[in-house]
Structure 1
Amino acid sequence: MESKSVMDKKIEDLLSQLTLEEKLGMIHGDGLFCTKGVERLDIPPLKMSDGPMGVRNEFEKDKWIAVGNSDDYVTYLPSNSALSSTWNRELAYRMGQVLGEEARGRGKDVILAPGINIKRSPLCGRNFEYMSEDPYLTKEEAVPLIQGIQESDVAACVKHFALNNQETERLWVDVEIGERPLREIYLPAFYDAVKRGGAYSLMGAYNKVRGEHCCQSHYLLDEILREEWKYDGTVISDWGAVHDTAEAAKTSLDIEMSVTDNFDEYCLANPLYQEIQEGRIAKSFIDSKVRRILRMMERLHMLGGERKSGCYHTPGHRQTALETARESIVLLKNEDQRLPLQRKNIKKLLVIGDNGERIHSNGGGSAEIKALYEISPLLGLKSMLGGNTEIKYVRGYCPDTKEEPGEVNWQEASLNAGNGTKDNLAKDSALQEKRNKLRKEAVEAASEYEEVLFIGGLNHDYDVEGYDREDMILPYGQDEVIRQVLKANPNTVVILSAGAPVEMKSWVNEAKALVWNWYAGMEGGTALAEVLLGEVNPSGRLPETFPKTHLDCPATRLGEFPGKEKVCYREGIYVGYRYYDTFEIEPQFCFGYGLSYTEFTCGNLEISDNSSAFPVSVSLDVKNTGEKSGKEVVQLYVRCLEPKEERPYQELKGYEKVLLDPGEEKRICFLLDESSFHYYDEKQGDFCIEPGRYEICIGKSSRDICQKKEINIVI
């Protein structure tokens, strides 16, 4: 890439030639997913696309109407929740490469991904698009994903900055939060995304923070992002997140986008022109925005450079989707070694559940994908068992009856009031009667089959943009189906597909085997079948705590969720396992948890003697003591033993995923820098380290610590 001085000279030269009208055309939408270019200066329009799980289908320029051609089928990738469940940085990087190549292949300049908002509550409707409750795990998966995207001359647009943790009243809810949790929990992944990941762009959030809309926030955009972090990339609004011309113009927002086709009426369009002409807003604000846009374009080689070409839905991309799906699956229970199924002994197999044959790619809101194909669990099983097993499918339960779609696209109406929560109660007697019939059919069939799989969970009626859940209860009466099926056949394997935790307490003790499967992309059904049949050893680990009920969640117990006009994050730093581990609240399944078809041990933990200098070196041996090859996730937690300031019980500060054959042993090394021991001191307005005793804990999860050793930090 050319030097900064050469780039700056080129940008200033272009800037000097632009008229005010041309500059304004570059800082607001001129289409639903593009800005206006300047043809006379060879400045192209900026083309964007949604893309957490793949490049979205093509719409008409100014209408939410799909073009409908066959040239926008793409690779459907596992969700960000699935990716973080792999605990695999290399897969994150490869998935980023796929997103970048496919976005470039589709002619896009910016892919609106990844989503890295912290999972504050399990009820948030967009949690499936996000990664984790933990800032360290989030940033470690996000950084290589961003780097992979941008290799193809495509800008990652990291979203949503910041505190976008609910869908209820998402355009207007005002977040009240202390400075310490903001800095320790909600901002670190964004910081690393721009500092280590080098993200070329960032998306502002819908909500307010301390009274300011995020896309007009002087504190977030000017003080933190530009002044503290020295970020010189492009800030793009979420679609419809700008509400005031003067505020948006005078902050560090660069591009305003929205869902409506009145492009000249956007805040940064004609209204801004009028404000400038009447002398109320200085032209220098617009120059700063255009300068940052041109800088991003130059980094993408859009201004006369030699730009990389892309490709999409290639065999290599599909292979990455498959490998990511394989490592995302989490084995939660496996009593009596119920899994893997012995395929040679299976003559008849019963599959129960709507998710067994449901397609998920075409839902969820702006995460929807026009997938080249999607392998359902039923298809994956039938393909692998090859006709030697008779497979019967019964639905078991059914979703609510869908209303006929109206003329207005959901996204066009998404700025209207009314986003909120969805309940899971069937209010229609005919629907309830149908569900009773389906349940009875499933229970009768379960009693007749030796091998039974129940495949249920959530779908994009509930994991969806614009709505939160009221509770964690499985919808459509699934709990009763599972209870009765387990009673009829205690060996039934329960598989749940979802983007967020669900309640399991009414039946989980009766289930011998339980598998968690996220929205795992186009090869999700293949990967699931491989795990169930033992072709792949499961290695996914939970990137978030699964509470027994949403009432155990700190956002509900200590803070507010979803709040009303305001939402108070009174739980502070106690988000996720930081809360459950500190206050000894028993979850259903803890953070970092996941089983394997083999066994691993850790030993010989050693820590460098020099505790007065960083980095601190930590090493240990990991051994596969079982009979199958597998991957273990070695997790490192740091615990302050005698804190003078309030601290969580422990915090994740390192992890490594290692492949081991039976009997094989490898030595794993970690380097811990200052950030592994610091906390944010609100009085000093900075991160600080307390000298004293710390414990380095090595575990298989936050609740399964197998090695620990004390260290004294001298400052």
Structure 2
Amino acid sequence: MSESIYPSVKDLTLEEKASLTSGGDAWHLQGVEAKGIPGYMITDGPHGLRKSLASSTGETDLDDSVPATCFPPAAGLSSSWNPELIHKVGEAMAEECIQEKVAVILGPGVNIKRNPLGGRCFEYWSEDPYLAGHEAVGIVEGVQSKGVGTSLKHFAANNQETDRLRVDARISQRALREIYFPAFEHIVKTAQPWTIMCSYNRINGVHSAQNHWLLTDVLRDEWGFEGIVMSDWGADHDRVASLNAGLNLEMPPSYTDDQIVYAARDGRVAPAQLDRMAQGMIDLIDKTRAAMSADGYRFDVDAHDEVAHQAAIESIVMLKNDDAILPLNAGPTANPSATPQKIAVIGEFARTPRYQGGGSSHITPTKMTSFLDTLAERGIKADFAPGFTLDLEPADPALESEAVETAKNADVVLMFLGLPEAAESEGFDRDTLDMPAKQITLLEQVAASNKNVVVVLSNGSVVSVAPWAENAKGILESWLLGQSGGPALADVIFGQVSPSGKLAQSIPLDINDDPSMTNWPGEEGHVDYGEGVFVGYRYYDTYGKAVDYPFGYGLSYATFEIVDVTAVKTGANTATVTATVTNTSDVDAAETVQVYVAPGKADVARPKHELKGFTKVFLKAGGSKTVTIDLDERAFAYWSEKYNDWHVEAGEYAIEVGVSSRDIADTVAVALDGDGKTQPLTEWSTYGEWEVDPFGAKIVAAVAAAGEAGELPKLPDNAMMRMFLNSMPINSLPTLLGEGGKKIAQFMVDEYAKLSK
């Protein structure tokens, strides 16, 4: 960054410093005009720029915005498993911000999909924190590479919309560290987002905006965050407490700068703290200065649409392809030696696509091409019937009859089904995984008249598939594909490209199988995250719970083989994994190699395995490539509440390499040294804890030897009593052994004091 042209905080008055810590209006930072510091615009945009037409007046309007490229929301983009592609999306978003003079785009959102009913699941990436962080970092790096800021959100634990403005998320330290923090942590340490947006909710009793532990102790002191923290809109309930906690910017303004001024004068805000918060705002404005000074810049609408097109292609997940019903043979790409298929297209989504979610991320696209439009443009003939309306109203018998008649004479029926916009949005959670009943009924009617049905889904989060899957030979999960979803679907359906998407979220057989359901969505103002670290596949796979489609799953028109899997220890607690993947078909396609780490014996309950690496590989037909994935120490660690730190236990770990969490091609082992962490032993440590401690093990051996020599009482040696003994603090030995137990406990404490000096 070039030398700043703006004054430093030491050159500002107290009132000017205070003003910098609040917005100028709903969409602008508050500059200091007298000192030449501008108040740049910030606005929504997790999957594209949403600059409200009312932005210039400072008002909020979620419906009318300037045209911008609508990329697939995170629900779709996450299924690409392609960080490089996601980086290109970020670059394109930044270029549109530069044209529209937007200094910071508010996204990406990386909250974990704790429950598939979450109303904002369409805007978040995954149930897995590793995948969420390693994909969303591409948006941050891509945007900021062009000189525009991002706002990583919503920090932290915004995992539901129900009561989101005040709900108290009660979460263990371990679950926070292993599930709800890592995506944020990875992006902070890798890409340094210029801003982070705090969430509305409370975490363990404290609102995020007032949470010093969250915003300062963890974010800044532990992770080294260098940017500014802003509130979600209306999340700051106490200007003074928030500023002291580490909140740089209140949005939108509450016009209470005088509260900060008074607090600074009477000592409730330390001068150094106000200076830090205000200087952060000056630094942010300075970082974006060059991009905001690019007058006359215009982005390439067609080029950005092509990025959206490629992103949409890679977002599509093929769930089912019985009898190789896909790809279809029709249109310009049809096989001339085969008879072209007669196609029926059923479902209003084919004509009126649902391409994004509702709420603050709603975009006005630069283009919009439906699937039917694409067929017309490509000269592919198809008969169409809407079949249903895009609302939650009852079925229309006339539309149903028309659809069934249209389907009867077709070789293949493409049925476009999904969730209407009214079914999921920011602001409320869903109450069912099911699609509207009228759509399922129509599918059953159509399937009764034509067995060759392919269902194309449009939905922002998981829907139940099992209840109706027998009525379809093929199923494409297309999520919400942005403005180029129509062409992308045509490319996949007619075989111009093989589907390569992989699920970023498990699809359960029943919503009540989800581990969070016993605590969803909470009660009396709080929600207990009782499932702990067992979220999504970490629960399903650990406890052998059947699912409809597992995490990481996705079919292809090609076939692949993964062989020659190795894992080599590269440090005390690190390893490198290699594998060779081969395209064994005659179709060019991409496959995603996934690496899961499975712990051996552990002191705490751990998931069966966890994703710790992946790479997407495009291979020509018959092609082969050797891939390498490095596993750092964190790949093997869990958060120990005993040590209040990450902990790697010594021992053997299984390295699983495959194409989903339940499709593992090969498993190899690596033995690690462990980090050697120990906790001081006391009389309150159990006998079992003494046995596994380096010093304690020597003392336990000495106790046994002294017992054999008659110098101390002998400990019980039958299995049941040993199990009982191992769970007892040693100060309880007198309960079991009387005076002899007291002697043993004292001997152990005395010997430990000598050894641990």
Is TM > 0.5 for Structure 1 vs Structure 2? yes
- Paired with 1:48 and 1:502, the residues of 2 have a C-alpha distance of 34
- Counterpart of 1:672 in structure 2: which amino acid? L
- Paired with 1:644 and 1:371, the residues of 2 have a C-alpha distance of 52
- Residue 232 of structure 2: SS of its match in structure 1? coil
Q: Which structure is larger by alpha-carbon Rg, 1 or 2?
A: 2
- Paired with 1:309 and 1:550, the residues of 2 have a C-alpha distance of 51
- Paired with 2:668 and 2:145, the residues of 1 have a C-alpha distance of 41
- Paired with 1:456 and 1:233, the residues of 2 have a C-alpha distance of 43
Confirm whether residue 491 of structure 1 aligns to residue 452 of structure 2: yes
CA contact (8 A) 2:355 2:481 kept: no
Deviation at 1:393? 1.9
- Counterpart of 1:360 in structure 2: which amino acid? R
Name 1:633's counterpart in structure 2.
Answer: 592
Name 2:320's counterpart in structure 1.
Answer: 333
Name 2:257's counterpart in structure 1.
Answer: 269
Which among 578, 581, 585 is matched to residue 622 of structure 1?
581
Range 584-593 or range 269-278, more displaced: 269-278
CA contact (8 A) 1:361 1:368 kept: no
Deviation at 1:362? 7.1
Deviation at 1:239? 0.5
Which among 535, 545, 551 is matched to residue 575 of structure 1?
535
Deviation at 1:637? 0.6
Name 1:167's counterpart in structure 2.
Answer: 161
Name 1:681's counterpart in structure 2.
Answer: 640
Which among 120, 145, 153 is matched to residue 126 of structure 1?
120
- Counterpart of 1:14 in structure 2: which amino acid? S
The alpha-carbon distance between structure 1 residues 672 and 278, as it changes in their structure 2 partners (threshold 3 A), is closer
1:197-346 to structure 2, matched below 5 A, reads 197-258=191-252, 263=253, 265-266=254-255, 268-276=256-264, 280-301=268-289, 311-343=298-330, 344=334, 345-346=339-340
Name 2:182's counterpart in structure 1.
Answer: 188
Alignment RMSD (CA, Å)? 2.1
- Paired with 2:522 and 2:487, the residues of 1 have a C-alpha distance of 37
CA contact (8 A) 2:62 2:362 kept: no
Name 2:413's counterpart in structure 1.
Answer: 452
Confirm whether residue 64 of structure 1 aligns to residue 60 of structure 2: yes
- Paired with 1:162 and 1:95, the residues of 2 have a C-alpha distance of 24
Deviation at 1:29? 2.0
Deviation at 1:248? 1.6
Deviation at 1:535? 0.6
- Residue 109 of structure 1: SS of its match in structure 2? strand
The alpha-carbon distance between structure 1 residues 164 and 326, as it changes in their structure 2 partners (threshold 3 A), is same
CA contact (8 A) 1:89 1:140 kept: yes
Deviation at 1:300? 2.6
Name 1:404's counterpart in structure 2.
Answer: none
CA contact (8 A) 1:170 1:206 kept: yes
CA contact (8 A) 1:593 1:701 kept: yes
- Paired with 1:73 and 1:447, the residues of 2 have a C-alpha distance of 41
- Residue 582 of structure 1: SS of its match in structure 2? coil
Confirm whether residue 396 of structure 1 aligns to residue 387 of structure 2: yes
- Counterpart of 1:435 in structure 2: which amino acid? D
Confirm whether residue 538 of structure 1 aligns to residue 526 of structure 2: no
1:1-16 to structure 2, matched below 5 A, reads 1-2=1-2, 13-16=7-10
Confirm whether residue 700 of structure 1 aligns to residue 659 of structure 2: yes
CA contact (8 A) 2:319 2:476 kept: yes
The alpha-carbon distance between structure 1 residues 562 and 448, as it changes in their structure 2 partners (threshold 3 A), is farther
Range 348-357 or range 592-601, more displaced: 348-357
- Paired with 2:212 and 2:297, the residues of 1 have a C-alpha distance of 37
Confirm whether residue 51 of structure 1 aligns to residue 42 of structure 2: no
- Counterpart of 2:640 in structure 1: which amino acid? D
CA contact (8 A) 1:633 1:658 kept: yes
Deviation at 1:296? 1.9
CA contact (8 A) 2:192 2:225 kept: no
Range 336-345 or range 155-164, more displaced: 336-345
- Paired with 1:444 and 1:206, the residues of 2 have a C-alpha distance of 51
Name 1:709's counterpart in structure 2.
Answer: 668
Post-superposition CA distance 1:621-678 (Å, at most 9, x none): 1111111000010111111122232110000011111111111111111111101111
Confirm whether residue 643 of structure 1 aligns to residue 630 of structure 2: no
- Counterpart of 1:626 in structure 2: which amino acid? S
Name 1:595's counterpart in structure 2.
Answer: 555
- Paired with 1:121 and 1:654, the residues of 2 have a C-alpha distance of 23
- Paired with 1:563 and 1:706, the residues of 2 have a C-alpha distance of 43
- Any unmatched runs of 5+ in structure 1? 401-425
- Counterpart of 1:601 in structure 2: which amino acid? E
- Residue 429 of structure 2: SS of its match in structure 1? strand
Q: Tell me: higher relative CO, structure 1 or 2? Use CA pairs within 8 A at least 6 residues apart.
A: 1
CA contact (8 A) 1:399 1:476 kept: no
Deviation at 1:278? 5.5
Post-superposition CA distance 1:345-368 (Å, at most 9, x none): 446422111211224357511111
Deviation at 1:612? 4.9
- Counterpart of 1:317 in structure 2: which amino acid? H
- Residue 30 of structure 1: SS of its match in structure 2? coil
Aligned-pair identity (%): 37
Name 1:90's counterpart in structure 2.
Answer: 84
- Paired with 2:188 and 2:510, the residues of 1 have a C-alpha distance of 35
Deviation at 1:47? 1.1
CA contact (8 A) 2:111 2:157 kept: yes
The answer to which structure has the higher helix fraction is 2
Name 2:440's counterpart in structure 1.
Answer: 479
1:430-445 to structure 2, matched below 5 A, reads 431-432=393-394, 434-445=395-406
- Residue 577 of structure 2: SS of its match in structure 1? strand
CA contact (8 A) 1:537 1:596 kept: yes
- Paired with 1:708 and 1:68, the residues of 2 have a C-alpha distance of 53
- Residue 461 of structure 1: SS of its match in structure 2? helix
Range 238-247 or range 628-637, more displaced: 238-247
Name 1:553's counterpart in structure 2.
Answer: 514
Deviation at 1:40? 2.8
- Paired with 2:134 and 2:63, the residues of 1 have a C-alpha distance of 37
- Paired with 2:11 and 2:212, the residues of 1 have a C-alpha distance of 29
1:106-145 to structure 2, matched below 5 A, reads 106-145=100-139
- Counterpart of 2:85 in structure 1: which amino acid? L
- Residue 195 of structure 1: SS of its match in structure 2? helix
Which among 628, 633, 655 is matched to residue 614 of structure 2?
655
CA contact (8 A) 1:611 1:711 kept: no
Post-superposition CA distance 1:528-568 (Å, at most 9, x none): 011000011100000110111211111114x3334440000
- Paired with 2:509 and 2:145, the residues of 1 have a C-alpha distance of 42
TM, length-normalised to structure 1: 0.89
Name 2:700's counterpart in structure 1.
Answer: none
- Counterpart of 2:497 in structure 1: which amino acid? V
Deviation at 1:31? 1.6
The alpha-carbon distance between structure 1 residues 66 and 245, as it changes in their structure 2 partners (threshold 3 A), is closer
Deviation at 1:476? 5.3
- Counterpart of 2:553 in structure 1: which amino acid? Y
Name 1:669's counterpart in structure 2.
Answer: 628
- Paired with 1:42 and 1:348, the residues of 2 have a C-alpha distance of 67
- Residue 359 of structure 2: SS of its match in structure 1? coil
Name 2:485's counterpart in structure 1.
Answer: 524
- Paired with 1:690 and 1:708, the residues of 2 have a C-alpha distance of 20
- Counterpart of 1:483 in structure 2: which amino acid? E
- Paired with 1:377 and 1:166, the residues of 2 have a C-alpha distance of 32
Post-superposition CA distance 1:30-74 (Å, at most 9, x none): 2210022122322110310100121113332232358979xx311
- Residue 710 of structure 1: SS of its match in structure 2? strand
- Paired with 2:64 and 2:523, the residues of 1 have a C-alpha distance of 40
Paired residue total: 665
The alpha-carbon distance between structure 1 residues 283 and 462, as it changes in their structure 2 partners (threshold 3 A), is farther
CA contact (8 A) 1:617 1:672 kept: yes
- Any unmatched runs of 5+ in structure 2? 675-757
Name 2:473's counterpart in structure 1.
Answer: 512
CA contact (8 A) 1:153 1:307 kept: no
- Counterpart of 1:294 in structure 2: which amino acid? I
- Counterpart of 2:280 in structure 1: which amino acid? R
- Residue 467 of structure 1: SS of its match in structure 2? coil
